[in-house]
A and B are shown apart, each in its own frame.
Chain A
Amino acid sequence: MLNTGTILFISFAYLSLLFAIAYFGDKRADQRRSIISNPYIYALSLAVYCTAWTFYGSVGMAARSGIGFLPIYLGPTMMAMLGWLVLRKIIRISKIHHITSIADWIASRYGKSMALGMIATIIAVLGVVPYISLQLKAISNSLMILRGYPAISSPAHVAAAPFFADMAFYITIVLAVFAILFGTRHLDATERHEGLVAAIAFESIVKLAAFLAVGVFVTYMVFNGFGDIAAQANGQEMLRKLFVMSPAQGNLSYTDWGTYLFISMMAVVFLPRQFQVAVVENVNEHHLSKAIWLFPLYLLAINIFVLPIAFGGRLHFQDQAVDPDFFSLLLPMVFHKEALALFVFIGGTSAATGMVVVETVAMSTMICNELVMPVILRLPLQRQAPRGDMSRLILRVRRAAIVLVLLLGYAYFRFVGEFYTLVSIGLTSFSAIAQFAPAIIGGIFWREGTRAGAISGLAAGFVVWSYTLIVPALCQTGILPMSLMTSGPFGLSWLNPHHLFGLQGFNQISHAVFWSTLVNLSMYVGVSVLTKPTALEHTQAALFVDVFKFSERADDSPYRRITAYIPDLKSLLAGVLGKARAESVLAGYARQHEIDIMGELNADPGLVSHAEKVLGGVIGSVSAHVLVASVVKEEPLGIQEVMEILDETRQAIAYGRELERVTAELKAANQKLKALDTMKDEFIATVTHELRTPLTSIRSLTGILHDNPNLEAPQRQRFTGIIIQEGERLTRLINQVLDFQRLELDKVEMQMAPVDLAEVIRDAVDSTKLMAAESKVHVFLYLKEQKVMVPGDRDRLIQVMLNLISNGIKFCPPETGAIDIKLYREDGLARIDVQDNGPGIRPEDQPLVFERFWQAHNRKDRRPSGSGLGLAIAKQIVDRHQGNLWVVSEVGRGSTFSLTLPLVG
């Protein structure tokens, strides 16, 4: 079964299936019935993280040094926890700004810098080429091992054979065709490839299934479960060493462990292919909330059997010279499970091809948009006529880029990759990608990061990375002299690429990551704080850092006064997108902003930046900026505009203050209203209470009269007398309430005329004579003046005096009671004192006596004979006469109510 023909047939059948899935996915996307728009497919597409490195390399690493393979999967799990914080922000930014690659992101963040885009692209290319070569190596070696069946062999040195006899070369070509077909099918402003993602998700399922299958086979059919393998391994001195973590035993040190965690955290987001699937191909931001645990779950599942296979392989092969990287393929072969071996091969190939295809598509976008297009657009020829049909040119550049990247990967595999294990090649790539971390993480949280800072950080970090990892690799292959490694360049041992400045205790990778990250971060921060950002950098920084604030309306820079002729813009868009798309972009903008652009000649700044963004989705923000700049007439801000902006700001601030003041006023008014409302409620409660008392006595007395018709005459007389009295009290009360209410509401018209206060007093005293006599209270008048004229309402003033006098009578002790009333002028005012010899008012009650119903409320010991409104009404009337009414009293010594009124004239 395992002859070359069958293997090739199955492989091509599998590839055809992938083509079919990708084709179906693309077709459904065209019909707007996406098959990838759910969190499960999204999580599976993220699993493109698991490549041949995971599939073959992890087992090899576990077999060599134990648990050291694991941080590469724990890191992404930890990053998933930060996914909601970091990844979501990157996704939102990328969607708003039509960003399609990691290099584009960095370039766009730091002021659409061409230089930065180029540097980031170069780092990405050089960083992922070894990684791609790793995949090619895995496919090629696994194929060779499989073809050797039934012999158990290690692959021969590939470089010996000419490339046209090498299977890996043809595999590379097939992969290039796949990537070109589904990665560059057509140009799209969002740069999404649904078919590709569908195929990747399918491959993720296949590689997981294959790995679990071989895991179950090794664990339960070759051995008797996990416990059996562990027990057997524990019995062997060599394998027991792998149980622990101590560098002395050849395991990972804690430093290296931490480094691997860090670089895998960075890699899972910043690797070009991870950025492609996680950010660019993301359909819906909300898929993230499920994917942040589904993706780690996938990683856990694919890692469960790594250790059993690794130990199983070591136990089975003992000291045989076989490559532990391929244990998962070799074990089924040893036990003649041909179908399983083939399945494992397909799984491993899935893992490798998935990575290669997505990586090359991502790289082709990057190379085209950041390296090639900006240069082409700046050529003098293009400068003159930048409006040709560019979409074909762009597609051609991308296809060429795919082929270029794959050939570079192939070359690396043939000339360098031979010397390294799968994992160490992968780690080299990871540490290159970690160079993006300061510029990106700083870019989303730190507004002050500048272009100069990002450029110097990336460049310096990259130089250190090359020196500490690539130079040693080149020495290994003989391209550079080996003496560089042993005694350092020019005999300077402190420049030894593996022990820079004599640093010891780090492995190659940690050593490189430590120095490159340190240099990168210090340059980024240091240069950023030393340089000043340009206006565009400033705008972009604000738009990126505060993306959640701005995301609702994403027109950038209202202060960029750019305008362009609409026909120019249109032909620009048509050149890149095609005529139909260009028109729909313009029409869409017009509809959204409810403007008519058909009749307009000049595009407003919003339209220009919208067009730039749409173009940026296809050719990258840098190129789009260059392109749009060629048709734009950017008017520099004149002093007039600056003043306008300042004025607007000032007005906004003033308006804010005004608003604050009005709010405070409203608050106060509201408080007052609330207080009034409670007062009203209290008032009603008290009035009804006051009304109920006489009503109750009338009701009970009439009840007695009704039930006892034979009641004796004097008795009946007494009862009816009380009823009349209580009725009068009721009437008085109601009158007073109405009176008070009207006074309070200012509804009473005062009949102002000169009034003689002496006369008023005499009239009032006359009216209360009967009452005084009943209570046996004497009223004495001390009228020093015969005539004291004040302007006022005579009847109302009499009412005041009546209320004061009757109040005095009420509280005077019977028999000995005496009220003195004095009238005199003082300080140009008329003054009246009404003094009684009653019990007096406690000091704390004195301010309260003029409150309505105060007395009725607080003297329960004594049956109130008034309404409790008398003094309140008096106070109201005196107030209306611009006068004053107050009380002076001492307990046991009586009270004096005094009032002053302005004199006539």
Chain B
Amino acid sequence: MTFERMMRRRLIALFLFSVVLFSYPIMSLLPQEFLVFGFPLLYVYLFLLWTVLIVAIALISRAQSVK
């Protein structure tokens, strides 16, 4: 139960993070015309962050299932 509660707490924290990172004003701070290796920074930011979040969910819920 405690592991589960820990997992729930971490996922909620992750959710709150994602709310902040996926919305105004954080997103508006990205320099609009900037290119990373030729790609718009906005696209790189969103897809990279998305990937990181999925990995984080996987790690958090994996730690739970191992126990």
The B36-53 residues at the A interface (CB cut-off 8 A) are 37-40, 42-43, 46-47, 50-51, 53
Say whether A81 contacts B50, CB under 8 Å.
no
| Neighbour of A78 across the interface among B22, B27, B38, B51, CB < 8 A | B22
User: How near does chain A come to B53, taking the closest CB pair, in angstroms?
Assistant: 6
Task: Tell me the nearest residue of chain A to B11, going by C-beta.
Answer: A81
Partner of A245, one of B14, B32, B37, B47: B32
Residues of the A chain whose Cβ atoms lie less than 8 Å from the Cβ of B24: 254-255, 257-258
Chain A 527-577 interface residues, beta-carbon cutoff 8 Å to B: none
Residue of A nearest to B17 (CB): A81
Q: Is the CB of B53 within 8 A of A246?
A: no
Question: Is A293 an interface residue, CB under 8 A from the partner?
Answer: yes
Distance A258 CA – B18 CA, assembled complex (angstroms): 12
Inter-chain CA distance A307–B38, complex, in Å, is 14
**How large, as a class, is the contact surface on chain B?**
35 or more
A 207-244 to B, binary, CB cutoff 8 A, 1 in contact else 0? 00000000000000000001100110010000000011
Q: Which residue of A lies closest to B18 (CB)?
A: A78
Smallest CB-CB separation from B7: which chain A residue?
Answer: A84
Q: Which residue of B lies closest to A79 (CB)?
A: B15
Contact A81 B43 (CB under 8 A): no
Q: Are A244 and B46 in contact (CB under 8 A)?
A: no
Nearest CB of B to A140, in Å: 32
CA distance A83 to B14 in the complex (A): 12
Chain A residues bordering chain B, tally (CB within 8 A): 35
Question: Is A441 part of the binding interface, using a Cβ–Cβ cutoff of 8 Å?
Answer: no
A84 and B18 alpha carbons, distance in the complex (Å) = 16
| A80 and B56 alpha carbons, distance in the complex (Å) | 12
List A residues 79-102 near B (Cβ within 8 Å).
80-85
In the complex, the answer to whether A293 meets B57 with C-beta atoms within 8 Å is yes
Determine if B54 and A84 form an interchain contact, defined as CB atoms under 8 angstroms apart: no
Docked-complex contact A67 and B46, CB < 8 angstroms: yes
Q: Find chain A residues with CB under 8 A from B37 CB.
A: 227
> Which residue of B12, B23, B28, B42 contacts A81 across the interface (Cβ within 8 Å)?
B12
When chains A and B are docked, how far (Å) is the Cα of A307 from the Cα of B40? 11
CB-based contact B54/A74 at 8 Å: no
Given A227-B38, A296-B54, CB of A81 within 8 Å of CB of B18: yes
Q: Shortest CB–CB separation between residue A39 and chain B, in angstroms? A: 10
- Whether a CB of chain B sits under 8 angstroms from the CB of A761 is no
> CB-nearest residue of chain B relative to A245?
B42
Contact A81 B14 (CB under 8 A): yes
Chain B residues with CB under 8 A of A293: 54-55, 57-58, 61
Which of B7, B46, B50, B57 has its CB near the most chain A CB atoms (within 10 A)? B57
Of B33, B51, B54, B65, the residue contacting A244 (CB under 8 A) is B33
Would you call B61 and A292 a contact (CB within 8 A)? yes
Q: Mark A680-716, 1 if CB is under 8 A from B, else 0.
A: 0000000000000000000000000000000000000
| A804 CB–B CB distance under 8 Å | no
- Given A80-B57, A81-B57, A296-B54, do A230 and B38 touch, yes or no (CB 8 Å)? yes
Interface of chain A residues 855 through 882 with chain B (CB within 8 A): none
In Å, the complex CA distance between A766 and B57 comes to 92
Measured CB to CB, the closest approach of chain A to B44, in angstroms, equals 10
Minimal Cβ-Cβ distance residue in B for A85:
B8
Per the bound structure, the CA–CA distance linking A254 and B29 in Å amounts to 12
The answer to whether B61 and A67 have CB atoms under 8 Å apart is no
Beyond A243-B40, A254-B23, list 12 extra A-B contacts (CB 8 Å).
A74-B22, A77-B18, A80-B57, A230-B35, A234-B38, A243-B42, A245-B28, A257-B27, A289-B61, A290-B61, A292-B11, A293-B61
| Sample of 21 A–B contacts (CB below 8 Å) | A74-B46, A77-B50, A77-B53, A78-B22, A80-B57, A81-B14, A82-B12, A84-B8, A84-B61, A227-B37, A243-B40, A245-B27, A254-B23, A257-B23, A289-B61, A289-B65, A293-B58, A296-B57, A297-B54, A300-B47, A307-B43
Please give me the 9 A-B residue pairs with the lowest Cβ-Cβ distance, nearest first. Answer: A254-B24, A243-B40, A81-B15, A293-B58, A293-B57, A244-B32, A289-B61, A230-B38, A81-B11
> Contact residues of A with B, CB < 8 Å?
67, 70-71, 74, 77-78, 80-85, 226-227, 230-231, 234, 243-246, 254-255, 257-258, 261, 289-290, 292-293, 296-297, 300, 304, 307
Q: Give the A-binding residues of B (Cβ under 8 A).
A: 7-8, 11-12, 14-15, 18-19, 22-25, 27-28, 32-33, 35, 37-40, 42-43, 46-47, 50-51, 53-55, 57-58, 61, 64-65
